[in-house]
Homo-oligomer: A and B are copies of this chain.
């Protein structure tokens, strides 16, 4: 695993807001201009700009200027990165990111003496 946890935090943070989730979902239909996006929310223009900056900075969304208009679209590659992480987590295995850095074998009572039944 080449990425660290910290690298994924901004991505999950970008998705951790109802407005931004709806923005990304709207962009699923294709590229949209900022003014069109704005019509779908009860927020002010600066607030939308704030959200678009978070989505752009994280790489989830790509921005393109055409004159005075800004067009936004989803960035599939970055979304794939998140999917890949979830896939790694989903497939229970013996090599988590942390295990690469050292031994996480537990020597406490809870893991040896009685032992966790579900292991």
With a cutoff of 8 Å between Cβ atoms, the chain B residues found around residue A119 in the complex are 30-31
A108 within 8 A of B: yes
Interface residues of A in 11-44 (CB under 8 A from B): 12-13, 15-18, 21-22, 24-33, 35-36, 39-40
With a cutoff of 8 Å between Cβ atoms, the chain B residues found around residue A30 in the complex are 92, 94, 119
Closest to A33 in B: B110
Closest to A98 in B: B26
From B22, B26, B27, B117, give the contact of A66 (CB < 8 A).
Answer: B117
Copies of this chain present in the complex amount to: 2
Q: A36-B108, A116-B33 are in contact. Are A26 and B89 (CB under 8 A)?
A: no
From B83, B94, B106, give the contact of A86 (CB < 8 A).
Answer: B83
With a cutoff of 8 Å between Cβ atoms, the chain B residues found around residue A50 in the complex are none
